[in-house]
Amino acid sequence: MTNERKVTIIPPKPKYHYRVGIYCRVSSRSQEQLTSLATQASYLTRLVAAKPGWILSDIYLDIKSGSEEADRNEFQRLLTDCRAGKIDVVLTKSISRFGRNTVETLATINEMRAKRVEIVFELEEISTNDSASQLYISILEGVAQEENLNRSENIRLGIKHKVENGTARIFLKRCYGYLNDDSGDLRINDMEADVVRSIFDMYLAGKSIIGIKRELERSNILSPTGNSIWCKRSIENILANEKYSGDVLVFKTYCEGFPESKRKTNTDGKHEQYISISNNPMIISIETFKAANEERNRRSNVFKTETGNNRKSTRYSSKKVEIKQ
């Protein structure tokens, strides 16, 4: 009786190692999304390790919505490395994680193909080295784009519903001068609240934004981001924030366009807004907030008409706004 032989295949050693770049993206910094990002990177790293001839060159991680107009820094770094000949294969989870829209995705694929860089979409099991992949990718990307639009709309409607019934967490979002207690409710941060009150007092006493900035820095008061240098925008945002008088206005901005959306200020009445009265403890009185914003309007060099933004005077002004003559 002969013994059964156990034979194991020993694959040949590849003659060339392909340098692989892993690209992962999630749309927000929520715990769920960050966990998804780590899972994507870990799974794709194991795939690279199991593939003969592949060696991991770098991992590129973006936390950025695919619909945002701003560039994804890590995605741009990946393209730069591909153009420099540092990457042979790009491995990503899916088409929807890669490009913002069909046009961008196909343009990137064509550019990388010209550079002899292969792009592998793991979920769809597609490689751009396949000559028939381009049509298939364009179809799948179009479907993914429509799904993203529907998902964005569903998320928007869900947030709107929570705002309408008063359960949205946005009403309890912390800003300078406040903190969240153990139950998540807003409470006054006494030290920061004193700074907020002094900013309103200085402004109503006639100080300019620059003058307030200099006074805060001279007093060694740290900015909301913990810096010793205050930016003008931080002071302007404090003066314009109705939360300090106890109310919260929701949907001050909105996104327009898809898939490349642009955030705009919701001051034209195009979209509804919601206000929660007596939402949180007051740091300043309603009268002080109204007086400060009346003063802001009086000092502003910009006024609005039916034709758009106009200037009271172009002399001495350095503000950048869209002017319609």
- Token pair recorded at residue 146: 């429509």
Residue 182: C-alpha distances to residues 30, 32, 162, 186 (Å):
19, 21, 21, 10
| Residue-wise pLDDT tens digits, 191-227 | 999 999 999 999 999 999 999 999 999 999 999 999 9
3-class secondary structure, 40: helix
| DSSP 8-state code for residue 12 | P
Distance of CA 186 to the CA centre of its chain: 24
Domain boundaries, given as residue ranges, for the chain: 18-148, 169-311
**Chain position carrying tokens 């919260």:** 248
Give the residue among 168, 172, 212, 177 at the shortest CA–CA distance from 284.
Answer: 177
Q: Given this model, what pLDDT does residue 262 score?
A: 64
**Chain position carrying tokens 């946005």:** 170
Q: What percent of the chain has pLDDT over 70?
A: 73
Residue 18 near residue 89, CB atoms below 8 Å: yes
Q: Using alpha carbons only, what angle is made at residue 37 by residues 23 and 92, rounded to the nearest 5 degrees?
A: 25
Residue 92 near residue 24, CB atoms below 8 Å: yes
| Residue-wise pLDDT tens digits, 264-278 | 676 666 777 777 888
Q: Classify 18-148 by CATH class.
A: alpha beta
Q: Given this model, what pLDDT does residue 234 score?
A: 94
Q: Kindly write down the DSSP assignment for every residue of 21-33, as one continuous string.
A: EEEEEES--SHHH
Q: Measured between alpha carbons, how far is 289 from 240 in angstroms, rounded to an integer? A: 8
**Length of the chain measured in residues:** 325
Q: Measured between alpha carbons, how far is 168 from 170 in angstroms, rounded to an integer? A: 5
> How are the residues of the chain apportioned to helix, strand and coil, as percentages rounded to the nearest 5?
40, 20, 40
User: For the chain, which residues score pLDDT lower than 70?
Assistant: 1-2, 12-16, 65-70, 100-103, 131-156, 159, 253-264, 266-269, 301-325
Q: Given this model, what pLDDT does residue 325 score?
A: 40
- Token pair recorded at residue 316: 């001495």
Number of Cβ within 10 Å of residue 203's Cβ equals 24
Q: Given this model, what pLDDT does residue 24 score?
A: 94
Beta strands, E only, 38-116: 54-63, 89-92
- Token pair recorded at residue 10: 């020993």
The structure's pTM equals 0.50
| CA Rg value for the chain | 27
Q: 305 pairs with which residues across the strands?
A: 308
Q: Measured between alpha carbons, how far is 49 from 41 in angstroms, rounded to an integer? A: 12
Q: Given this model, what pLDDT does residue 141 score?
A: 59
CATH architecture assignment, domain 169-311: Alpha-Beta Complex (3.90)
Give the residue among 110, 108, 83 at the shortest CA–CA distance from 97.
Answer: 108
Q: Using alpha carbons only, what angle is made at residue 227 by residues 188 and 232, rounded to the nearest 5 degrees?
A: 85
Beta-carbon contacts of 262 under 8 Å, excluding residues fewer than 6 positions away, are 69, 255, 256
- Token pair recorded at residue 28: 């927000």
Q: Given this model, what pLDDT does residue 307 score?
A: 56
Q: Measured between alpha carbons, how far is 195 from 66 in angstroms, rounded to an integer? A: 38
Q: Measured between alpha carbons, how far is 25 from 148 in angstroms, rounded to an integer? A: 14
